[in-house]
Amino acid sequence: MTDDARWQGYAPMARHVAPAAAHLLELLGPASGPLLDLGSGTGLALTMAADGGHEAIGIDASLGQLTAASAACVHAAADARSLPFRSASFGGAISNVALIFVPEPAVAVGEVARVLRGGARFAFSAWRADGWPDACRRVLADALGRPHRSFPTELGDRDTAASLLTDAGFTGIKHHNGTVRWTFRDLDDAVDTLTNAAGGLRLLRSELSGPAWAEAKPLIAEQISRRAGAIDHHLVLDDPYLITTGLAPIAISR
């Protein structure tokens, strides 16, 4: 949902979050009309939706990710805060760990409410707080001598996520927990993959010179190892997420 440079090389992360997209679609259920994917990225959720019988349309602000998506996916470059669709034109909407990156999520959710038909379901996922991304961002920010900007996990809090939907008129708010898992050959593989797949970490790492990265790398390895486990001679790292769902208002000024 942001600039192309930040999301170059995002394919590993897109594959990682795909199970969460499947979870969203499962919770969404049948939709009486087209499905909107807010922040569709490389199009994996759109492909899943199409395979499940949905007519799905995705929007993303990153031209790089849209270019990487399959030509079979229906998608457009657009700002989530100003959706280029008629009111009440969708039968359901999802957003897979994408709404957290929108500068004004309340505005985006208001737009989702506008383009959804009354009673249609919206389901979005967000990372829970205190995960490896924020810890790693802090290490890299310190190495660059700049203030740390926390990873956007506010919508991984139940009360915050519920308020966001309620304020936009959604009802029937529900929460669902989930976890997606990374599997790596070893700790070095984990450090290199995570600092290249995650957009914010990739940008920070790219600004570090050789010696500075050499000093930061073991500190990142330490943060990851604290949270990782071992299964079948592989290192595994779990990412907990929260899904929040709600029903679009029946009566809304459109």
Per-residue pLDDT tens over the stretch 3-45: 555 555 667 777 889 999 999 999 998 878 899 999 988 788 8
Per-residue pLDDT tens over the stretch 195-226: 887 667 888 888 998 899 999 999 999 999 99
Q: Is 180 helix (H, G, I), strand (E, B) or coil?
A: strand
Per-residue pLDDT tens over the stretch 153-205: 899 999 999 999 999 999 999 999 999 999 999 999 999 999 887 667 888 88
Residue with tokens 């999802």: 94
> Minimal CA–CA distance to 22: which of 41, 55, 44?
44
> Minimal CA–CA distance to 72: which of 51, 86, 93?
51
d(CA 206, CA 209): 8
Residue with tokens 């998608």: 75
**Which residues make Cβ contacts (< 8 Å) with residue 104, sequence separation at least 6?**
81
Give kind and range of the element (H or E) at residue 25.
Answer: helix 11-28
- The pTM assigned to this predicted structure is 0.88
Per-residue pLDDT tens over the stretch 227-245: 999 999 999 999 999 999 9
> Minimal CA–CA distance to 241: which of 80, 93, 102, 123?
123
Task: Tell me the DSSP string of 224-244.
Answer: HHHHEEEETTEEEEEEEEEEE
